[in-house]
Amino acid sequence: MNKKILAIFDGEESYAYRLMDFIGEKMNLPFEIYVFTNEDRFYSCTKIKDIECLLVSESVYKKDVETLQIPHIIILSESGKNLNKALHHINKYQSSENILHEIMEYYTDRSDIVPLALRTGLKQMHIIGIYTPIGRCLQTTFSLTLGQMLAKKYKTLYLNFEAYSGFSKILNKRFENDISDLMYYFECAREKLAYRLESMVETVNGLDFVPPVEIYQNLAGIRGNQWVDLFQELEKTSEYEFLILDLSDMVLDLWDILRCCEHIYTISRDDGIAMAKIDQYEKALEYMNYGDINVRTTKWKLPVFKELPAHFEELTYGELAAYIRKQVFPDLLEREDKGKDGKR
């Protein structure tokens, strides 16, 4: 892929290189990154290189920059003063993750053509579907813990399909986008999916996730085949090795989504009501010719844990993490190793 140049021009050397390193870790972005901390070198380079996008700090910005015919110029604002209302501004003093989100959102909105992103690795993306017909059984806690543990070794994406996930309050953060926006941009501009995804992905303890919906009606009307199409595109254009789907009855065509999963995990319990629900669910699958889902489902009866971590960032410690490491990982990773040369 012929990458275009993203230039960072900032007199604060440590800041510029730290930002470059963070962006450079994101594989599959359309940019080759150049850093300039010296004015003469910056202007010399612009005479021989075509820069597609420029991040220029407020402290080194001059009007001359606008004569360089750079298609996209973004000012890294330091004082909050608007140097040129015609240019896009990003607050310099925020997390590198937020800066990248704003860059990619701006670039994909403004650029008519972006280079096609293609997966560089040979491994397929493994889809893990997690669903149970019984409530309050630690499904989401299990899913997040499994995802964070996988993310320590594999590039992993987590998607939550609950009607009321509570993520904003739990993480004390207001999200600008959610999975309904991801689907919207996928339907409107599939070729930009990989780059738009970079503007939406959040991270908790190494695990990437697209925030769940705040208003579940925003997913109304999205059919199972559309989600499956999205997952297939993610496999083609992203570097994710695992995709974890934390599913609920809210999503349309749930069984079609489960059918596309390589691994299916169902959390169960020993009490009579839970077992009756599981039995009804499994019989319904067989009756509706979805019995193959039962065949590929592993049921986990979680033990009673004395204490669970209070925060998402702590889920890889404690009894549940130890259980997943001892019980779930051998099953999952053994099957993953056996399937390296195969396809779903």
Task: Please provide the average confidence, as pLDDT, over all residues in the chain.
Answer: 89
Tokens of residue 253, six digits:
């065509």
Contact 203, 216 (CB under 8 A): no
- Work out the burial of residue 136: count CB atoms within 10 Å of its CB; fewer than 13 is exposed, 13-18 middle, 19 or more buried: exposed
Lowest-pLDDT range of 4-8, 91-95, 261-265, 330-334: 330-334
| CB-CB contact of 326 with 333 (8 Å) | no
Q: Look at residue 34 and tell me whether its pLDDT is greater than 90.
A: yes
> Where do the DSSP E strands lie in the chain?
4-9, 31-36, 51-57, 72-77, 88-91, 126-130, 156-160, 202-204, 207-210, 242-246, 263-268, 297-301
Among 77-86, 103-112, 161-170, where is mean pLDDT lowest?
Answer: 77-86
pLDDT bucket at 198, cuts 50 / 70 / 90: confident
Q: What is the pLDDT of residue 121?
A: 61
Q: What is the pTM of this model?
A: 0.83
Poorest-pLDDT segment among 85-94, 151-160, 171-180, 256-265: 85-94
Instruction: Check residue 82 and give its pLDDT.
Output: 61
Task: Give 343's pLDDT tier (boundaries 50, 70, 90).
Answer: very low
The pLDDT tens digits for 56-79 are 999 898 888 888 989 999 999 988
Residue 54: phi and psi, rounded to 5, are -120, 125
If phi > 0 it is left, if psi is from -120 to 50 it is alpha, else beta; for residue 253 that is: left
Residue 116 pLDDT: 60
Residues near 134 by beta carbon (within 8 Å), at least 6 away in sequence:
267, 268, 269, 273, 274, 277, 278
Which candidate, 89, 71, 66, 130, places its Cα nearest to that of 267?
A: 130
Give the amino acid at 251.
Answer: V
Amino acid 45: pLDDT: 92
Write out pLDDT tens, residues 116-145: 665 666 578 999 999 999 988 999 999 999
Q: In degrees, to the nearest 5, what angle opens at C-alpha 69 toward C-alphas 66 and 70?
A: 85
Give the pLDDT of residue 327: 93
pLDDT digits (tens, 9 = 90+) for 86-101: 788 999 999 898 899 8
